[in-house]
Structures are given as C-alpha cells and as structure tokens.
Structure 1
Amino acid sequence: MTEDEDGPVTDDTLLTIGAFAARARLSAKALRLYDRLGLLTPAHVDEVSGYRYYRAGQVERARLVALLRQLDMPLARIAEVVEAGGVAGADVLAAYWAEVETRLAGQRTLAEYLRGRLSGRNSEMYGKFVVETVELPEQVVITETRHVLADELPAWIGASLGRLEEGARECGGVTAAPFVRYHSEVSMESDGPAESCVPVADEAAARAWAVAQGRVRGTEVRVEPAQRFAYTRVTKAQVAHPQLMAAFEAVEEWIAGQGLEQAGPCREIYFADWDAAGPEDPVCDVAFPVK
C-alpha cells in the first residue's frame, strides 16, 4: 500500500495521518483518540513503522464524529449514527436529541425547584398540596421487591404491578389500590429498595401462590396492619420529578407540624387508570404511616 498525495485523490487514496488530519480539519491527536474509541479506524497500519493511513473517503466520517462528540453523545450512539448514515442516521440522531431535550426539561424544572428551596420558598411550593389523614384497614398483600435506580423505576413499577395483579387472580382477586413502598431513597445514586404491593382477598391462597413462585423476583406475602396515614393527592402531571419530591416533602412537613411521627416507609398509592388519565387528573396518593 502506498500514499498518493501528488496524483488525483480519490476516495480510495491512502493518506498519512497528517495529510488526512489536514483534510478533515482535525488534529492527529483527535484521530488517534477516535481510533482508540473504535469510532474511526485507520484503513491501514504499517506493521513495521506503525504509521497510520486513512482513505480519503473517510474524511466525512471523521468530521461527522467530531461534530457528534460536540453534542456530548455517548460513544455507542455516535457509532450507531455513523454506521447507519443517511436518513437512518438522521433518525438515530433525532431520537437521541429528543431524549436530551426531555432530560433538559426535567433538569430545568428541578433547578427551579432547588432555587425555591435555597431561597426559602418551601412553603410556597408545598402549598400546592393539601394533606389529610385516613385510616386504612388491615389487608393481605402480595409483594415484589427490587433494588432499582430512578431511571429504571417507572418501567419496573409498571411491570411488577402487572405481574402481581396477574398473580392476584389466584389469590381471590385485588381488593384495594396497589401501591409501592420505598424502604430507602430511590435516586440516580441510591437504589432503594422499592416494594410493589397488591392487596388480595385470600391469605391462604396468597401464601400458596408465593410458595409456587419460589421467591422469584423477591415475591412475598405480608399482612399489613390497620394504620393511620397522612397523605396528599397528586395529579398525573405532578408525578413527574421534581413535583413528586415536593409532594413527599409537603407531607413530611405537615406531619412534623402536627406533632406526629412517621411510623414506617412512605408509599405511593395508585388508584386511577394511568393511561386514561389526563395531566390534571388525580392518579396517586403520596402517603406516610403516622402515629
């Protein structure tokens, strides 16, 4: 293989890394990095000298990689875009950017929430939530527990409650709204655990069902005692982060202000059809057992 920089340059012409870097308007250091990352591999590497040679036709890919890296795109997604190319590559980029805008919108909302906390406007934020108490009777629940991070939580809640509601058919049916208990914080750094729970009618059948499950996915049966709960009702729109965080904190503040004590893990109680609900429809209670 030879370098041909003096004659006509075609897509198959081999260029030294320096010549190729000049054409791509990139540094040789950047090209070596792209090689290490698996994003742009030289067309040929001399076995004796170790010199890298690129085909002239790789210039467009090099420039595309450089531009995509300016979007802070993960390496795997960059590789997906450049390998797909054309309209397919544009579709991959569009999907990625939609994810970025969704994340930025959430971060913008979180930043406003944190500004409120730092500036002492907590009561203004918490005032959106009306806190009440309710006495819930004893109930038998079948449960599934998992250590899960915040970005995995919504999908796991839906899947686990679906499995439990299916299992409830063997346990006399569902008797009350399903809920999720949080034994510890769930965030991007803390993984709970969280526990999905479905109240059922028949304790004996529930225990037989749990034995048949062989404790797969951490399934258990528990008898929840009759308890008093402090709770606030939230809409579908407020389930998003950080509005839901503010709801939890509003209930905690109310409990402290009433001279009560928290008596166990907090929970979200889902009483509405999520898919049928509109943004302003109540869908969930944020609740703490109190004494």
Structure 2
Amino acid sequence: MTEDEGVDDDLLTIGAFAARARLSAKALRVYDRLGLLAPARVDPASGYRYYRVGQIERARTIALLRQLDMPLAVVAEVLAADGPEGAERLTAYWADTEARFAARRTLAEFLRGRLSGRSSEMYERFTVGTVEVPAQVVIAEKRHTLADELPAWIGASLGRLEAAARECGGVAGAPFVVYHAEVSTESDGPAESCVPVADETAARAWAQAQGRPWRTTVRVEPARRLAYTRITKAQVAHPQILAAFEAVEAWMKERGLSYDGPCREVYFADWDAAGPDDPVCDVAFPVR
C-alpha cells in the first residue's frame, strides 16, 4: 500500500486529505509538528499519516486563518478557544492588524510628501516657538525600548514615577520623556521618563530605599530653552509625530539655532480625559 491510497471509508492518506482540505502535504506536516492538526493515525511500520474526513473543516479553518497572515501561535490560540471566545480572539487580532496597517498608510503618506518635496507644506500645520524652562529635580526611569513597545512603557513608567513623586513632596511640573538616541523599529534608544518632584531630599532618600533592582534615579535637569510645537493626542501616534519633530528642526535651522541636548516630549494634559483633537503634548528640542 502506498501513502496515496485510502485505508477505509473514513480515513484518508495525507495526499488525499491535502487535496480535500486545499492544503499541501508539507503544510500538514508542519501543523502536525506544531500540534495544530495531528493525524488520526500514523502507520507504525511505514510512518504514513492518515486523517479523518471530519478533520477537513479544521484544516480549512487553519488555511483561512493563515491567509490573514495570522502567526501559527495565534492560530493555535484561536483554535483552542471554545466557541465565541475563538471569534473574539480573531476579532482582537484583526483589530490590531488594521491598526498596524493604518499606521503604515500614514507613514506612506508622510514619505510621499518627503519624496515629492512637499515637506515644507506638512510643516506649515505646526506652530513653533520657544519657552524658557527653569532647572528642576526629576525622578526618572530609563529604558532601551523599540517603537512598538514605547507607548505602553511611557504610560506605565510615568504612572510609576508620578506615584513615587507623590511620596516626595508632590509632582512639581509636567512629566516628560527624553530620547537619548533614536527609538524606532530598529533602534532602541534609550528613552527616559521624567517627573519633576518638589522635594529633592525626600526623592533621593526614596530612590535609595528601593535598592539596586529599582531602575529609578534622581537628578537635576538643568534650565533649558526649548524650541517646541504643541500637538494633539491624535498627532502623538507614530508616524504622525515625526512630522512635528521635523517641523521644529526645520524652524531651528531657519533661525540658526543649535541643539543643546536630546529631544523630548512634554505631557502637560490628562491623557485619559483628552479627546483625539485635544492638545496634550509639546514636542521639543533644547536650543542655544
């Protein structure tokens, strides 16, 4: 008997099953290895795989999920879920996929403007000015992070730091994030979340009490002159925020201003309460 022949009315060889399921035999072997779709029977002498007719629906479901570019690990989660839960996991996956494609669409539009020489038109939507910021004591947390992890880390780290600041005389200014090197899909910074505190002595004592595993430090942020533009909550998202940074840099270049430190985002509004069109953040560069 060859692997292409049937065994009985219910069992199909891997070749016959692959044809019915609209999959390749190679894919079926991969799915078996990953535990997604095991054969109903494996001949102990020949090693031939046999599948039941009733497994065709599962095989076709796997194939359709893969057409959504769903990773095999996520496919396994969807298949393992009971009833509506599987549909909910698919919905969550697709919402994330659509969000990523929307971001790429915006990035493509941004790049089209740059490549076509229309960058100056994009910058015109931003109003740039300068502000003097006095020296301030900050409690800070620094981390190497890629762009896709950055928003979650910013929210979590600022939350931790604001809670700590309340134990050190209170929050004394707008929280901000400093980019000591580029943060992108390929470069991991580092970035540094900072929250100004009212009581330096209390802050240093608090940080020391946390012990070595704690990543929080206390330092004095020197007085700075910032060139900045104010952006909305919707504009904070990547890649929209790139245009804001570049608009400030173009404005600095026109006026002969030099960089005097790493760029930053200053969050002055209640993020959770803000709507998409509400101003929430200043994109800024220290200048001299």
TM range (shorter): over 0.9
Check if 1:132 corresponds to 2:129.
yes
Partner of 1:223: 220
Q: CA deviation at 1:200?
A: 0.6
CA offsets per residue over residues 141-164 of structure 1, 9 Å max, x none?
A: 010111111111111111111111
> Any idea what SS the aligned residue of 2:218 has?
strand
Cα distance, 1:168–1:48 mapped onto 2, change above 3 Å: same
For residues 201 and 81 of structure 1, the distance between their equivalents in structure 2, rounded to whole angstroms, comes to 50
For residues 109 and 56 of structure 1, the distance between their equivalents in structure 2, rounded to whole angstroms, comes to 46
Cα distance, 1:236–1:193 mapped onto 2, change above 3 Å: same
Residue pair 2:78, 2:87 contacting (<8 A) in 1 also: yes
Q: CA deviation at 1:88?
A: 2.4
The structure 2 residue matched to 1:210, chosen from 203, 207, 215, is: 207
TM-score by length of 1: 0.93
Query: Residues 178-189 of structure 1: matches in 2 within 5 Å?
Result: 178-189=175-186
Query: Residues 24-173 of structure 1: matches in 2 within 5 Å?
Result: 24-84=21-81, 86-173=83-170
Q: CA deviation at 1:80?
A: 1.6
Moved more, 76-85 or 225-234: 76-85
Give the CA RMSD over aligned residues. Answer: 1.8
Number of residue pairs matched by the alignment = 285
Partner of 1:15: 12
Residue pair 2:175, 2:267 contacting (<8 A) in 1 also: yes
Unmatched segments (≥5 aa) in structure 1: none
The percentage of aligned residue pairs carrying the same residue is: 75
> Any idea what SS the aligned residue of 1:171 has?
coil
Unmatched segments (≥5 aa) in structure 2: none
For residues 250 and 213 of structure 2, the distance between their equivalents in structure 1, rounded to whole angstroms, comes to 38
Runs of 4+ displaced beyond 6 Å: none
Moved more, 76-85 or 196-205: 76-85
Residue pair 1:146, 1:217 contacting (<8 A) in 2 also: no
Check if 1:281 corresponds to 2:271.
no
Residue pair 2:7, 2:13 contacting (<8 A) in 1 also: no
CA offsets per residue over residues 84-115 of structure 1, 9 Å max, x none?
A: 25432222212211111111111111110100
